[in-house]
Amino acid sequence: MKRKIKVLIVDDSAFMRKSLAIMLESDPNIEIIGTGKDGEEGYKLAKELKPDIITLDIEMPKMDGLTALKLIMKDAPTSVIMVSSITTEGADATFKALEYGAIDFISKEQSFVSVSITKIKEDLIRKIKNIVYHKWNSENLNRSSLLKSQKRESSTPKVSGVLPKLGYKAIVLGVSTGGPISLQKVIPYLSEKINVPMFIVQHMPPKFTKSLADRLNAMSKITVKEAEDKEIVQKNVAYIAPGGRHIHFRNFNGSVQVLLKDNPENSLHRPSVDNMIQSATNIYGKKILSVIMTGMGKDGLESIKELKKLGGKCIAQDEESCVVYGMPKAIVDAGCADTIEPLEKIANKINSVL
């Protein structure tokens, strides 16, 4: 039986503090150990209470969330989920928070107005449990290199670690929790000579994907953009699926065209990695290099199983460099990974076969 996860809630809204507390304490494995009404109070409580994870608002009086986050990471480092407003300004601030060390975020409007409270409660609890349990597991493994070695030998299917040069025509990449910062350690290091399009699904609300694309584009040799409906696919461009839309493809006048769709509405994620890879496979066949990185769940597994049957290849991020080892673990456990790579080596692995 795992010990309870200790959560600190920091938000200037009494309603938000109460709502989050009620949501989280509905899970018997989570305990709220304190609440703070501004960044200054949150910083003091983080040092005093040493929580396993903090939910931290961005816009607060006295001391804002970004200032508090920097101080927390310096003096009382722990996992932090930001509570962000779903606006362009909110997205920009959120990405700054992720760069400062926050692991993930929830959006205020999405959480408490426009969608089911029940679904958000489940998502938030799942995020907190996955992040903290992964952290605890990593700490336990790191206590003994022998234990770590034995675990790898017994639990990880052997892979060749070799990717052939198959004349790939496209790269598809799926990522979720921990993705924005992880993508910054991959996309900017891709060679401008890869000469194929890249399609990315990052589980994220609308507006955040545009900010993510713009930030990556400013850092990268290839062009990175949020995908637009009916645009023609170009080589050396990475297309990020917009939050809230599935990205599909079709042949059009000798080219490939992007199609953004709302259906299927019942998929767990929108955009969905599985939807994206299935559609890409219909266009490019086995000439696809797939990459699955940090994230909860198993989005991407079913489509990669089908891709592998055709002869496509897959890179999975390794456990140590993941924020949450869920999506890559599903690929590895199913025997679908051709190579398992630490985050900092994924770009070089891609460059080496294109």
Which segments of the chain does DSSP mark as H helices, in order? 14-25, 39-49, 65-75, 88-100, 108-109, 117-142, 145-155, 179-183, 208-219, 273-284, 301-310, 327-333, 346-353
Is 134 marked active-site?
no
Whether residue 77 is preceded by a cis peptide bond, meaning omega within 30 degrees of 0, is no
Query: 334 and 218 in contact (C-beta within 8 Å)?
Result: no
CA end-to-end span of the chain: 47
Cα-based distances in Å from 86 to 37, 105, 108, 178, 260: 21, 11, 7, 18, 21
- Is 176 labeled as catalytic in the residue annotation? yes
- Asked whether the bond before 206 is cis by omega within 30 degrees of 0, the reply is no
Look up residue 95 and give its two tokens. 């990405």
Whether 308 contacts 151, CB under 8 Å: no
Query: Is 145 among the residues known to form the active site?
Result: no
How is residue 290 annotated by DSSP?
A: E
List the catalytic residue out of 57, 182, 203, 290: 203
| 103: amino acid identity, one letter | I
Query: In terms of Cα–Cα distance, which of 246, 249, 302 is closest to 280?
Result: 249
- Give SS3 for 100: helix
- Per the residue annotation, which of 79, 84, 85, 176 is the catalytic one? 176
| Residue tagged active-site, from 12, 57, 274, 299 | 299
How far out from the chain centre does Cα 324 lie? 8
Output the CA–CA distances (angstroms, integers) from residue 224 to 49, 151, 221, 293, in the order listed: 42, 38, 9, 18
Return the DSSP state at 257.
Answer: E
Q: What is the 3-state secondary structure (H, E, C) of 2-20?
A: CCCEEEEEECCCHHHHHHH
Is 204 exposed, middle or buried, given 0-12, 13-18 or 19+ CB atoms closer than 10 A? buried
Residues designated as active site = 176, 203, 299
